[in-house]
Amino acid sequence: MLRREEPNVLAELVLDCGNHHGEGLYYNALDAQMWWTDIEGRALWSLDPVSGAARKIDMPDRVCCFAHRRDGGMILAFADRIAFFDPTDGSFETLSEFESKNTETRANDGRTDRQGRFIVGGMNEITGKPDSSVIRIDADGSITTIIDGVSCANSTCFSPDGRTMYSTDTPEQTIRAYEYDPDTGEIGNMRILADFADEPGVPDGSCVDAEGGVWNAEWEGRRVVRIAPDGSIDRVIEVPAWKPTCCAFGGPDMDILYITTSRLMSSPEQIAADPQAGGLFAVRPGVRGIVDTPFAG
């Protein structure tokens, strides 16, 4: 797990956006923009990787993760509900509540699979109890629970062939690899891909590169690491901010790794000592990523 074959590389600040809690990062090929959410800032952000132009869209509530829809608009996982959003007129349509019977949980991490289903994981943000879940939203809007007993779901991403789903329950400090059926969206046997017990941070958001490596942002670890298929860490990206949250490849050639960061639960003194916290960082790590599939519904 701790083998490192290449020297550490430093990510650079590309947008000093000061997010309260940047998350949910991905590249949308439909408009060639990087997109992410500032959960606690109640806003969606986008960045043009070529021009550097950024845009902020204020939201009425906390957007925890989201995806663009194949035929236009977005699907959003608000803290307490799943909804469609039409950015052309600002309208929302609620699809379903999220764990409405549990007042302590909210939606958290999510990403589409290779077929365009939307996977959304939850968390208990009050007590940390393992009483949340991971759900799958199919193109027809049907919702299926695929993992129970989760305290803080993160790291949702898929292997290049779509037959493995990676996920973590962050407090467990491991990244899991599930067999995944691309035809049905059902998960199968689980194995532990990587153990973060000896890492400086805990596993947060992840993405996958074209070679099958899993890139993970280490919360409170000041870095992003690449996990090789054998479970070892073979690359480390140092991040000049304490709390990296998510990472995703983007740009015209899908060769830039972007990284969101957070100021959540940081004191004024800690933020003063960490002035780039909440910014968007980037680095060219020498491999290419894979474009996420838009939500098929």
Q: What is the DSSP letter of 182?
A: T
Q: For residue 6, what pLDDT is reported?
A: 57
- Quick one: CA torsion of 27, 30, 36, 41, rounded to 10 degrees? 170
Assign 153 to helix, strand or coil: strand
Assign 151 to helix, strand or coil: coil
Number of H helices, E strands in the chain: 1, 25
Tokens of 40: 């606690």
CA distance 163 to 132: 24
Name the pTM for this structure: 0.96
How do beta strands 132-137 and 118-124 pair?
antiparallel
Per-residue pLDDT of the chain (297 residues; tens, 9 = 90+): 333 445 679 999 999 999 999 999 999 999 999 999 999 999 999 999 999 999 999 999 999 999 999 999 999 999 999 999 999 999 999 999 999 999 999 999 999 999 999 999 999 999 999 999 999 999 999 999 999 999 999 999 999 999 999 999 999 999 999 999 999 999 999 999 999 999 999 999 999 999 999 999 999 999 999 999 999 999 999 999 999 999 999 999 999 999 999 999 999 999 999 999 999 999 999 999 999 999 999
CA dist list (Å): 133 to 8, 136, 163, 195: 35, 10, 21, 21
Burial class (CB in 10 A: 0-12, 13-18, 19+), 51: exposed
How do beta strands 22-28 and 256-261 pair?
unpaired
How many C-beta atoms lie closer than 10 Å to residue 210's C-beta? 13
CA distance 125 to 216: 21
Helical ranges in the chain per DSSP H: 268-273
Q: Which amino acid is at 13?
A: L
Tokens of 277: 């916290």
Angle at 13 between CA 7 and CA 19, to 5 degrees: 125
Q: For residue 5, what pLDDT is reported?
A: 45
| Contact between 222 and 19 (Cβ < 8 Å) | no
Assign 149 to helix, strand or coil: strand
| Contact between 119 and 111 (Cβ < 8 Å) | yes
> Where would I find the beta strands (DSSP E) of 181-297?
187-195, 202-208, 214-219, 223-227, 233-238, 244-250, 256-261, 280-283
How many C-beta atoms lie closer than 10 Å to residue 249's C-beta? 26
Return the bridge partners of 105, or none: 124
CA distance 155 to 109: 7
